[in-house]
Amino acid sequence: MSKKPEVNAAELRARYPDVFDRPASSRLATPMMLVAALAIFVFGLVDLDFSPSRFISGLSQLGWISMMMIPPDPGSSLPLYLKALGETLSIALLGTTLAALLALPVSLFAARNVVPSILLRFPVRRFLDSIRGVDTLIWALVWINVVGLGPFAGVLAIAISDFGAFGKLFSEAIEGADRKQVEGIRAAGGSALHEIRFGLMPQVLPVIAGQVLYFIESNTRSATIIGIVGAGGIGLQLAEQIRVLEWQKVSFLILMILVAVAAIDYISGKLRFAIIGRRAVA
Amino acid sequence: MTIAVSILPEQQLAAMNAAYRKAVARKRLRLLAGLAVFVAALIVASIGAEVNLRTFFSYFGNFVSYFDRILTLDSGQRVWTNVGEWFWGWRKWLKLLGETLLISYVGTLIGSVFAFALNFFAAENTSPAPWLRFTVRRLLEFARTVPGIVFALIFVIAFGLGPMAGVLAIAIHSTGALGKLFSEIVENADMKPVEGIRSTGASWLSCMRFAILPQVSAGYASYALLRFEINVREASVIGFVGAGGIGQELIVAIRKFYYSDVSAILVTIIATVFLIDITTGWVRGRLFGKEART
């Protein structure tokens, strides 16, 4: 090896001016963005009535509330709460299943490799998008108007808002499926339905099952809150106890929710591993 | 070219067929058993959730006609024939919508700052002590699992009605969610730069600043933007419990059966959510290239 070539800083500088002197616009971009972000933040604090005195008095209130939450105590309403928790789990399970059953046929119409015609695909997709754009809580309010207060409205609310999400996810899973099996079925003389049943479904069902299980998990969380607007489940109890300032019961209910969510996470994680294999998940 | 397919002799074939049938039958039996358990769970659940198909079918017409009603003005015309009448309250609604966006912006920013401060303690590879990691992780888990609207309900009582409660609720929930995602990014970071900086005798703080942060900051920004998107949706309903934003107006309209207002507010919310989704998607694409978007 020869010795190192002489490095001439001045020459390098002349040859690569961009590296040494970045233009002011690119040097200032990041600080400008930070300043803008900070400005919006400060404007937001002012516009949303943040005042230090209010914040501090609120914090001391919150401290009092947390003190009164200890120890968590259900009083005499433990059976009622257990029933409400069962209701919540039922809402999540039924709503997700219903959504999956409804979404499976519709998602076929939104998948590019099943329905090549954009005329049919486009409206189906936009329809699913608009359903997804409306929050579960809003759907719950709408269904309460239709079937009355109670957990059934919650089931329907979860079903319809997940229908939008599943439609999109399933159609993406179908589009990701391998083309070869479908072609094989067609070459053997199968009809379009045969192609879907024997070519696509075996490929996408494990993916779909994993997604459904994941949604049951996340819907347990959603189902805890739709009760706040009156659609059944543990959220109803929680909102009521908060309104009447029964803080020990509130903290007990929150603990119940945490435990239930953790349990469902654990079970559905196990099931997902069993269905799609450990490697596919991790 | 023809290929001769050789068929095995009868006895061999019979044995293989039997083995195949047995294997398939076992698989089917397992599937059936799983299905039976699932159906049983569904039946129990439908009793628990008071599912009543009769009310469903007799009132399903109501559901369809609800959309008919919210798309009809008081005068009996369709809403889109008179857009001025339909969006009569647009000044008020736009102002509330702006408030909703501000709530989610401020909430996301506070949440990201806290998540940023906490995530190095929660990550497996950078946490200075196991007990610290355990505590921070449980804390983040708590903030993530309790739904934002429950925090909002409690904060409304502590801080009074108004957007401040909403901001804090969203901030806490975002801290939990982002803290977990951030710490996962840190766990995937390359540890060699840390070793390099550590070997010069640098403190823990300098290691984080000069070895980890340059690797992870793009991922942080991407997740924070994604969270902002989610928080806009969240902030649009957080007003249901009195914590500010457009939700307050929406729940009043739904509860008091101001039908055309319901559809008008819903349309503005959906349009805003679409707009924010598209904008943040574009920003993320610009900032981090195509691969970071997935």
Report the topology of domain B88-293: MetI-like fold (1.10.3720)
Side-chain half-sphere exposure of A108, counting CA atoms within 13 A: 13
* Residue B1: predicted pLDDT: 59
* Residue B168: predicted pLDDT: 92
The model's pTM: 0.80
Torsion of the alpha carbons at B42, B44, B45 and B50, rounded to the nearest 10: 120
* Residue A276: predicted pLDDT: 65
| Neighboring chain B residues of A155 at a CB cutoff of 8 Å | 49, 51
Residues B275/A133, Cβ–Cβ less than 8 Å: no
Q: How many Cβ atoms are within 10 Å of A208's Cβ, its own excluded? A: 21
Which residue positions in chain A have pLDDT lower than 50? 279-282
| Neighboring chain B residues of A37 at a CB cutoff of 8 Å | 109
Report the alpha-carbon distance of residue B111 to residue B207 in Å, rounded: 24
| Contact status of A18 with chain B (Cβ, < 8 Å) | no
Of the three residues A51, A69, A87, the one that is the final residue of a domain is A69
User: Looking at the structure, do residues A64 and A88 belong to the same domain, yes or no?
Assistant: no
The answer as to whether A213 is a domain residue is: yes
In chain B, which segments carry CATH 1.10.3720.10? 88-293
| Contact status of B53 with chain A (Cβ, < 8 Å) | no
Report the alpha-carbon distance of residue B280 to residue B99 in Å, rounded: 18
Report the alpha-carbon distance of residue B234 to residue B238 in Å, rounded: 6
| Contact status of B167 with chain A (Cβ, < 8 Å) | yes
User: Looking at the structure, do residues A29 and A169 belong to the same domain, yes or no?
Assistant: no
* Residue B174: predicted pLDDT: 93
* Residue A31: predicted pLDDT: 83
B60–A146 CB contact, under 8 Å:
yes
User: Looking at the structure, do residues A51 and A98 belong to the same domain, yes or no?
Assistant: no
User: Looking at the structure, do residues A188 and A251 belong to the same domain, yes or no?
Assistant: yes
Q: Which residues, at least 6 apart from B227, have a Cβ–Cβ distance to it below 8 Å?
A: B108, B111, B112, B174, B177, B178
The answer as to whether A2 is a domain residue is: no
User: Looking at the structure, do residues A41 and A112 belong to the same domain, yes or no?
Assistant: no
Of the three residues A49, A69, A89, the one that is the final residue of a domain is A69
The answer as to whether A4 is a domain residue is: no
What's the residue count for chain A? 282
* Residue B294: predicted pLDDT: 40
* Residue B291: predicted pLDDT: 47
Of the three residues A69, A101, A118, the one that is the final residue of a domain is A69
What letter does residue B9 receive in the DSSP assignment?
Answer: P
| Neighboring chain A residues of B103 at a CB cutoff of 8 Å | 44, 48
Residue type, B171: A
A62–B158 CB contact, under 8 Å:
yes
SS3 B78: strand
| Neighboring chain B residues of A238 at a CB cutoff of 8 Å | 150, 153
Residue recorded with tokens 């969203």: B170
User: Looking at the structure, do residues A231 and A120 belong to the same domain, yes or no?
Assistant: yes
Q: Which domain holds residue A189?
A: 78-281
The number of domains in chain A is 2
Size of interface A-B (CB pairs under 8 A): 164
Q: Which of A58, A109, A169, A123 is nearest to B166 (CA)?
A: A58
pLDDT of chain B, 294 residues: tens digit per residue: 577 777 778 888 888 889 889 988 988 898 899 889 888 888 888 887 777 777 777 777 777 888 888 888 877 777 777 777 788 888 888 999 999 999 999 999 999 999 999 988 988 888 888 899 999 999 998 898 888 888 998 899 888 888 899 999 999 999 999 998 998 888 888 888 888 998 998 888 888 888 888 888 888 888 898 899 889 988 988 888 888 888 888 888 888 888 888 888 888 888 888 888 888 888 877 776 644 444
Report the alpha-carbon distance of residue B13 to residue B26 in Å, rounded: 20
pLDDT (tens digit per residue) in B80-105: 777 777 888 888 889 999 999 999 99
The answer as to whether A1 is a domain residue is: no
* Residue A282: predicted pLDDT: 38
Residue among B106, B258, B261 with most chain A CBs within 10 A, to mutate: B106
User: Looking at the structure, do residues A27 and A82 belong to the same domain, yes or no?
Assistant: no
